[in-house]
């Protein structure tokens, strides 16, 4: 799980005993060595076998990994993740163009190992596999409830296990600002209750994720959902302070002042600092649920709005987004935001993340915008795996898109908003249902058998325990 694109069963089984080893031929890099060691360690925990480190002789491994060449220095959208896995009674080979394919195929091999009356073994088969969508993500909100590093890392392990390739890190909201800024230190000193990631810790997470073939995209929500910015820097806000971190949940009135040049000077410095820290080409600016009350109550903002021929707050937010896009682009990033940022005059380079449905995603695609689906993948709503499994990015209006328009839909992201979760129970809200969403985004569109999904998800749920997740305990 996710179900591969093509599976052909052979005859016989490959025994998995204490002589099992993994070897690497072809392209060599430390990341492949670490992946092989990680896979061996997982298999040892599952089976209880005293398995050893990676075999030194490339020809001697029970499982031989072969990548033709390296991956991009910074992982890219659409980079090749395909692989071919051949298992016979005598041994197994895993071939891919680059290490990303090896990482995906290694997880498939680990899923094949099972206990039989004669011991552990994997069935003989040939698998050709590649993802349906290039963007398969999980967003974790660490603002409303703080999530320590060990929680983030073990969920990255789970993401690797089910071939999720994007970690969307929601780092600021009304309830907390969760990352160290060296340029604007009052952001974390006054806006975090002392719970934030240092830049060194962020770099460690980035390296951890890259080892697992996972891109990391930061989100800083603007112009609404921004109270934690104002605790340390009230001059950014549309209404006078003082401000404090919100202790409740919902949509709040405070919003950044989009009319001051000093606002954009601050954001240029802040975004420049964060863009240098996060190597991924994409930068998420939020943009959702701005109620406009703070703008309505400010005479200077209303005067600015009328002086510039704007009809309403939607026009004002579009102006803010345009200015923000200029800053994000200047720092060599592509802007990503929720549905609300979509405006006709924005360049087609931005990416729309739709939480309102596949129809709005289709509308964005017809207008020439790339998009992601999150509607139906909100894990915090605690809906069934079958509900999530039935969501399809190319349904509704999207089903009528042309072939080229369908390519504008890059994939989707599950969302774990943290109003009602803590580090103790967040795993149980994400897993194992995340595996069903992962399959919807990876496997062929006609993969629809709910009973099969539940049976395989139960097996995967047990395996995720061996990886270190705590959703069952």
Tell me which residues are annotated as active site: 289
Instruction: Report which of 150, 283, 168 is spatially closest to residue 214, judged by C-alpha positions.
Output: 168
163 Cβ contact list (under 8 Å, min separation 6):
2, 81, 104, 107, 131, 136, 438, 442
3-state SS assignment for residue 431: coil
User: Distance (Å, rounded) from C-alpha 361 to C-alpha 365?
Assistant: 6
Maximal CA-CA distance, the chain: 81
What distance in Å separates the CA atoms of residue 198 and residue 449, rounded to the nearest whole number?
44
3-state secondary structure of 253: coil
Interior/surface letters 348-387, b for 16+ CB within 10 angstroms, e for the rest: eebbbbbbebbebbbbbbeeebbbbbbbbbbbbeeeebee
Alpha-carbon distance values, 158 to 64, 133, 154, 419, 448 (Å): 24, 19, 6, 22, 23
C-alpha closest to that of 247 among 145, 356, 363:
145
Give the residue carrying structure tokens 């509900």: 387
112/173 Cα distance (integer angstroms): 42
């Amino acid at each position: 799980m996710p179900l591969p694109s093509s599976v052909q069963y052979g005859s016989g089984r490959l025994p998995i005993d204490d002589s099992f080893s993994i070897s690497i031929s072809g392209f060599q890099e430390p990341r492949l060595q670490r992946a092989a060691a990680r896979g061996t360690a997982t298999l040892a925990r599952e089976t209880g076998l005293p398995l050893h480190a990676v075999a030194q002789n490339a020809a001697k491994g029970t499982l031989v990994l072969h990548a033709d060449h390296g991956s991009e220095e910074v992982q890219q959208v659409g980079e090749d993740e395909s692989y071919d896995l051949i298992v016979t009674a005598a041994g197994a080979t895993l071939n891919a163009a680059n290490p990303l394919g090896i990482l995906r195929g290694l997880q498939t091999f680990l899923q094949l190992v099972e206990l039989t009356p004669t011991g552990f073994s994997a069935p003989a088969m040939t698998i050709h596999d590649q993802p349906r969508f290039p963007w398969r993500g999980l967003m974790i909100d660490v603002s409303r409830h703080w999530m320590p590093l060990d929680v983030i890392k073990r969920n990255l392990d789970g993401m690797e296990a089910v071939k999720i390739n994007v970690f969307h890190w929601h780092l600021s909201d009304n309830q907390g600002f969760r990352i160290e800024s060296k340029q604007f230190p009052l952001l974390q000193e006054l806006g975090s209750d002392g719970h934030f990631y240092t830049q060194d810790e962020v770099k460690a997470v980035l390296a951890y994720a890259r080892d697992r073939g996972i891109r990391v995209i930061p989100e800083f929500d603007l112009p609404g959902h921004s109270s934690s910015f104002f605790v340390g820097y009230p001059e950014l806000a549309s209404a006078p302070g003082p401000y404090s971190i919100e202790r409740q949940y919902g949509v709040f009135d405070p919003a950044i002042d989009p009319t001051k040049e000093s606002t954009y000077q601050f954001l240029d410095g802040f975004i420049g600092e964060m863009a240098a820290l996060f190597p991924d080409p994409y930068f998420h600016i939020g943009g959702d649920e701005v109620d406009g009350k703070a703008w309505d109550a400010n005479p200077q903002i209303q005067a600015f709005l009328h002086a510039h021929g704007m009809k309403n707050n939607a026009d004002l937010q579009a102006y803010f987004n345009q200015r923000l896009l200029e800053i994000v682009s200047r720092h060599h990033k592509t802007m990503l935001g929720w549905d609300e940022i979509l405006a006709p005059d924005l360049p087609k380079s931005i990416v729309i993340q739709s939480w309102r449905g596949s129809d709005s995603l289709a509308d964005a695609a017809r207008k020439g915008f790339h998009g992601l689906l999150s509607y139906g993948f909100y894990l915090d709503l605690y809906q069934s795996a079958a509900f999530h499994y039935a969501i399809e990015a190319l349904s509704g209006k999207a089903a009528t898109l042309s072939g080229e328009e369908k390519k504008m839909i890059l994939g989707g992201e599950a969302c774990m908003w943290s109003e009602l979760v803590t580090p103790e129970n967040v795993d149980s809200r994400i897993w194992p249902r995340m595996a069903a969403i992962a399959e919807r985004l990876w496997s062929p569109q006609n993969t629809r058998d709910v009973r099969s999904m539940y049976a395989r998800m139960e097996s995967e749920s047990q395996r995720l325990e061996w990886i270190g997740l705590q959703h069952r305990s």
